[in-house]
Structure formats: structure tokens, C-alpha cells
């Protein structure tokens, strides 16, 4: 419909991890990239995407799990496009 704003769902950083995953204000994905390399961080994101896809609807609310999948996919893309 013209003039109607798009209804986009976007995850947020809080969708994955928590304060206990922070290392000096950075999340675990950034820490893995720094210590183990970009490919390891990409693999970490991919592994978590697989985890949430395979257990989808069995543990948490489906929307919550889908937001986690989306957030890990966004982080994968961010890392992939970096340098």
C-alpha cells in the first residue's frame, strides 16, 4: 500500500549472547575473530545458525529463536564483508 511504512523485522545485539559473553565491551564473535581469525568467527556464526535451525520450535519461542538465527546471519554477513 502506498504511504504505508514497511514492517521489517530486524534482530538486535541483545538477540544473542548476554553480558557474560562480553570481553571488554565486545561480544564473543569479535573475540573469536581477534584470537582465532575471521574464518573461525564465520564458522562459529554458521554453527549457531545450524543449532537454532535444527532445534527450531523445540526449546524457546519460535520468534525468539528466529531472531537469534537472523542475528547470527547478520553477524556472518558483517564478518564476511569485513576486509
User: How many structural domains is the chain composed of?
Assistant: 1
Whole domain around residue 55: which residue ranges?
38-83
Which comes out higher in pLDDT, residue 18 or 74?
74
Cα distances (angstroms) measured from residue 41 to each of 6, 49, 64, 75? 32, 12, 22, 9
Give the pLDDT band of residue 45 (cuts 50, 70, 90). very high
Whether the pLDDT of residue 39 is over 60: the answer is yes
54, part of any domain: yes
Angle at 82 between CA 80 and CA 83, to 5 degrees: 120
Mean of the per-residue pLDDT values for the chain?
81
Average pLDDT over residues 37-48: 97
58, part of any domain: yes
Amino acid at each position: 500500500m502506498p504511504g504505508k511504512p514497511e514492517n521489517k523485522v530486524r534482530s538486535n545485539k541483545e538477540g544473542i549472547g548476554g553480558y557474560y559473553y562480553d570481553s571488554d565491551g565486545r561480544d564473543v564473535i569479535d573475540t573469536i575473530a581477534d584470537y582465532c581469525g575471521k574464518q573461525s568467527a564465520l564458522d562459529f556464526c554458521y554453527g549457531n545458525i545450524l543449532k537454532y535451525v535444527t532445534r527450531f520450535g523445540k526449546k524457546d519461542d519460535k520468534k525468539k529463536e528466529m531472531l537469534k538465527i537472523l542475528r547470527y546471519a547478520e553477524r556472518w554477513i558483517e564478518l564476511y564483508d569485513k576486509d
